[in-house]
Chains A and B, each alone.
Chain A
Amino acid sequence: MPAEALVPTSAEEAARLYGDGEGVVVFAGGTILLPEISAGRLKPERALMLHKSGLDGISTDGGTIRIGAMTPVSALVGGPCELISRFAENVGDGEVRRSATVGGNLCATAGVGAQRGDLGAPLIALGARVRSTGKGGERTEPVEDFLAGDRSGRLVLEVELDAPSGKWGAETLRRRHAHSYAIANVAVASNGGGLRIGVSGVGPTAVRARAAEQSRNPDDVLRDVEPVDDAVASAEYRRKMLPVLLRRALDQLETA
């Protein structure tokens, strides 16, 4: 039985059709979901297709950058934020990035043998917030809290962040290939004296490395992050490399 497609033409209609999310599969760019549906591994009864919802686009008002959930990842490459761009350009290849969306990247769960959601690291480092709706209504929360919580009943509407004014550092460990998910991503950013560290690609969701933010000791990244084994890399390798990547990223920050 083919899925029923719900195609809202506004953000309000999307929120209404989504309701509390029960029985609705959110279909954004489709780069993750469509192969699952084609192969018969996922059989949605109702798909909420967001391509006409107007939830796409990047705007800057005052000092705030707003990135709509349906903004294609390709729009972030060379976009208003260089740190995000550095990680966006690693997602798939140009053709995949034209379909893949920011909301999809945030909501992606681990794939078969690989971790996803690279953008979590720079968004956490920049102190970005997620505005989402669903059961209990609309709310805005830090990216790291959104990722740590139960995302199943949430519809992401947009990501907002203060326009970066401080220094940053970025390190990615990966092989170059359209389907080569990152082995590890580390993003660091300073803003008004504070340091924020985001890590992605080493576990099911991106994580904020608070202990290392306090101590500035790269080894402390492992106090907040629990790397996993998958087809891309072993947990042991990730544990060895994460402090190295963080040290390099912090060096970039110092010398920026």
Chain B
Amino acid sequence: MKLTVNGIEQEIFSPPLTPLLHVLRDELDVTSPKAGCQQGGCGTCTVLIDGEPRRSCLTAVAAVDGSEITTLEGLGEPEQLSPVQAAFHERYAAQCGFCTPGMVVAATALIERKGGPVERDEVLEALGGHYCRCTGYVKIVDAVMAASRGQTGAREDEPETGEEAPVMIPGSPA
């Protein structure tokens, strides 16, 4: 079997019914798709299969033999984030970060499909199967809408840092 993962063709040796999720993580060391619920309910394992977002935990590797797979790693570089990645970073849309890979991949597909600004209800529909147990949904939805409008980069309402005195709370260990 063969897969093209983030632009690199890979020979696959896992058994045919291995979930794509475990092929990516365990055979190829592509670890952004997370093994969350592993029954299709949480969305953190979502990857693009030939451009369409699907759950990698529900996908047998043999069923996508020859496909192109894009994961979070294939969307941007640490020094050059994709618009959705940049918006998530700038707008505090990641808390613990476990759901973020699936959210970013699904949001990227939504914006590409729409080809322009996406509205709140469209984001809710596209991310409806993605769980954030930190419950940071408001900032996630805001980030996706901002990314679809090209609103990334430095923001005016960003708090100033560096000059303020540290806040000391009496009695706190810090």
- On chain A, the number of residues with a Cβ less than 8 Å from chain B's Cβ atoms is 27
Cβ A30 vs Cβ B41 within 8 A: no
Cβ A98 vs Cβ B54 within 8 A: yes
Given the interface pairs A2-B15, A92-B129, the reply to whether A49 lies near B57 with Cβ below 8 Å is no
Q: Which residues of A contact B53 (CB under 8 A)?
A: 94-95, 98
Cβ-based interface call for B39 (8 A) = yes
Cβ-based interface call for A110 (8 A) = no
Cβ A35 vs Cβ B57 within 8 A: yes
Q: Which residues of B contact A37 (CB under 8 A)?
A: 17
B contacts with A: majority SS: mixed
CA distance A27 to B59 in the complex (A): 11
Cβ B17 vs Cβ A94 within 8 A: no
Cβ A30 vs Cβ B63 within 8 A: yes
CA distance A39 to B39 in the complex (A): 9
Cβ A2 vs Cβ B16 within 8 A: yes
Cβ B15 vs Cβ A30 within 8 A: no
Given the interface pairs A30-B58, A178-B40, the reply to whether A95 lies near B106 with Cβ below 8 Å is yes
- On chain B, the number of residues with a Cβ less than 8 Å from chain A's Cβ atoms is 27
Contacting residue for B38 out of A2, A30, A38, CB 8 A: A38
Cβ A34 vs Cβ B126 within 8 A: no
Cβ-based interface call for B77 (8 A) = no
Most buried by A among B19, B38, B60: B60
Given the interface pairs A3-B17, A35-B38, the reply to whether A94 lies near B58 with Cβ below 8 Å is no
Binding site for B on A (CB under 8 A): 2-3, 5, 7, 27, 29-31, 34-35, 37-39, 44, 47, 49, 51, 92-96, 98-99, 176, 178-179
21 A-B interface contacts by CB (under 8 A)? A7-B62, A27-B17, A27-B63, A31-B40, A34-B17, A34-B57, A34-B59, A35-B39, A35-B40, A38-B38, A49-B16, A51-B63, A92-B40, A94-B125, A95-B54, A95-B106, A95-B129, A96-B55, A99-B54, A178-B128, A179-B40
